[in-house]
Structure 1
Amino acid sequence: MRIDLHTHSTASDGTDTPAELVRNAAAAGLDVVALTDHDSVGGYAEAKAALPAGLTLVTGAELSCRVGGVSMHMLAYLFDPDEPELARERELVRDDRVPRAQSMVAKLQELGVPVTWEQVARIAGDGAVGRPHVAAAMVELGVVETVSDAFTPQWLANDGRAYAEEHELDPFDAIRLVKAAGGVTVFAHPLAVKRGRTIPESVIAELTAAGLDGIEVDHMEHDDVARARLRGLAADLGLLTTGSSDYHGSRKTVALGEYTTDPEIYGEIVRRAFGAFPVPGAGG
């Protein structure tokens, strides 16, 4: 059983539409795929309608958070998307995405990069605009070779020269809100050091005490040393460990299913959730 619990569509900053994503997931041999767009549930309906037979969809979102001045992402699975308090917080984050992206464009222009807001808006289309769209504009201009190359201190990494802060949830509030909506929380790519400062292990312990369910271990931005460290931490704290591609379509080199989650861990995530349930494909 092959399970990928972290993917993005055009509802945020991926390049596959939700329908294309689930079809591509099935073609990649996945049995389960989670749709976790940034602070958005906008792709759910299209993904469900197109869901191929044999593929199960886990609904979710990747929530933008900040603690101690450090940005982090919280994967939330199988929560009730209509729960009003969590929906209101997601909307606040989404509403801040346009002025934030415009601020990054202005900073890049000050650094001599001829990116324009019109270019970034064209790349984002109907999705929730974010840093990858700004990075894609930099690729178009030949400033960097890949989107990942833009996520450095020189450019768009957390606290980088062209970084701009956004409205972000306190992760303790995020855990509380997701739990109240019947969902399960997993700290995404906690040791992705290329993006900037990371959360100390002491804070991960505090998040665990507040109800954090797991941490994402097998991820393209974690080397073997980081993965071993995270597995040890998870064992010490009693956290679930997941593996995921963090697929963004052509915006990143990672493929669907390149990293996967153990079926027993997936079963435990489903067991803990009560806000929503996995959707089995009916040949959409």
Structure 2
Amino acid sequence: MIDLHLHSNASDGTDTPGELVRKAVDAGVTTLALTDHDTTAGWDEAAAAVPPGVRLVRGAEFSTTAPDGRGGHVSAHLLGYLFDPTGPAILADQARLGGERARRIGVMTERLRADGYAVDPTRYAGDAPIGRPHLGRALVEIGAVASVPEAFEKFLAKNGKYYEPKADTPIAEAIAMIRAAGGVPVWAHPWARKKGPIVEPEVIQEMAGLRLAGLEVDHPDQEPGDRERLRSLAGDLNLLVTGSSDYHGANKTIPIAAETTRPEVLEALVAQATGAGVVTGGQ
């Protein structure tokens, strides 16, 4: 099985990169991708944990903003695979987003504290880029909620009382920087409506013209009808179709390999990459 979207505690997952690799292997995964938010900090530990016969695709999930096709903009996530992590634009973007994440969570933390919620999300982030899931875990710790999903629902949702936006990278720029670093950009869960407003098909078509490589179609947060429409759109635009779990450990209930990618799609993706190679255990 192939799962191309997993998170470790190098960002907002709860497993270390090494633990993540071991859990994926135990789940029957033969190729996995480590795609932490806006960081490559977990790459080396994950690579060292890959056993013989298993492959690791190194990547990241980039925080971006995209035109919605209706005159506005929406939050969008872009998976970058097998890029050179030392690319100047990549490093600059990760540093800028790290600062934005810290600013945003600082504002949200102070808003919560002002209402009597004595949260400390830094206890859970450590050296990772801090995010709302860390704040969610802090809310669980003080007994304000029973789970991280409940924290998002009651406290951390977009446009809620405590929410603070961050300045994400325009998706066209992110596609260009991933390609410049020899990587392969795939739009993560583009029509996951439960995450917020989605883009019109014309926007995906425009990004395909800018060398977007694929769409993450089979994702737990996308409905069957939307998946089929995305699959058809990908076919029309000659885009790769991937499937992934978007596993975050204990922060979400979705298991590893809840959705998977076909082997021929993986090989087509790897064939486009020139920035970083696939790590194969035992070699």
Tell me the TM-score normalised to structure 1 length. 0.92
The 5-angstrom pairing of residues 1-284 of structure 1 reads 2-68=1-67, 69-109=73-113, 112=115, 114-116=117-119, 119-152=120-153, 155-282=155-282
Q: Map Cα deviations across residues 5-63 of structure 1 (whole Å, 9 max, x no partner).
A: 00111111111101111111111111100000101000011111121122100000000
C-alpha displacement of 1:199: 2.1
Q: Residues 46 and 161 of structure 1: is their aligned pair in 2 closer, same or farther, counting only changes over 3 Å?
A: same
More off after superposition, 51-60 vs 157-166: 157-166
Q: Residues 232 and 146 of structure 1: is their aligned pair in 2 closer, same or farther, counting only changes over 3 Å?
A: farther
C-alpha displacement of 1:92: 0.8
C-alpha displacement of 1:115: 4.1
CA distance in 2, matches of 1:29, 1:66: 34
What SS does the aligned partner of 2:90 have?
helix
CA distance in 2, matches of 1:162, 1:194: 19
CA distance in 1, matches of 2:112, 2:199: 27
More off after superposition, 179-188 vs 225-234: 225-234
What SS does the aligned partner of 1:12 have?
coil
CA distance in 2, matches of 1:64, 1:115: 28
Q: Map Cα deviations across residues 202-244 of structure 1 (whole Å, 9 max, x no partner).
A: 2111111111111111111112122122112212222111110
Contact 1:172 1:207 in 2 (8 A): yes
C-alpha displacement of 1:137: 2.1
What SS does the aligned partner of 1:222 have?
coil
More off after superposition, 238-247 vs 134-143: 134-143
CA distance in 1, matches of 2:192, 2:158: 11
CA distance in 2, matches of 1:163, 1:81: 31
Tell me the TM-score normalised to structure 2 length. 0.93
Contact 1:183 1:276 in 2 (8 A): yes
CA distance in 2, matches of 1:246, 1:161: 27
Contact 1:37 1:60 in 2 (8 A): yes
**Percent identity for Structure 1 against Structure 2:** 46
Q: Residues 160 and 198 of structure 1: is their aligned pair in 2 closer, same or farther, counting only changes over 3 Å?
A: farther
CA distance in 1, matches of 2:274, 2:4: 17
| Structure 1 alignment gaps of length 5 or more | none
Q: Map Cα deviations across residues 67-115 of structure 1 (whole Å, 9 max, x no partner).
A: 24311110000001111122111111112211111112233345x4614
Aligned-residue CA RMSD (Å): 1.7
Q: Residues 241 and 144 of structure 1: is their aligned pair in 2 closer, same or farther, counting only changes over 3 Å?
A: farther
What SS does the aligned partner of 1:46 have?
helix
| Structure 2 alignment gaps of length 5 or more | 68-72
How many correspondences in the alignment? 278
C-alpha displacement of 1:123: 1.7
CA distance in 1, matches of 2:210, 2:118: 42
Contact 1:157 1:194 in 2 (8 A): no
CA distance in 1, matches of 2:162, 2:226: 27
Q: Residues 235 and 19 of structure 1: is their aligned pair in 2 closer, same or farther, counting only changes over 3 Å?
A: same
CA distance in 2, matches of 1:221, 1:108: 28
What SS does the aligned partner of 2:32 have?
strand
C-alpha displacement of 1:146: 3.0
C-alpha displacement of 1:245: 0.8
Structure 1 runs (4+) deviating above 6 angstroms are none
Contact 1:71 1:158 in 2 (8 A): no
What SS does the aligned partner of 1:42 have?
coil
Q: Residues 193 and 144 of structure 1: is their aligned pair in 2 closer, same or farther, counting only changes over 3 Å?
A: farther
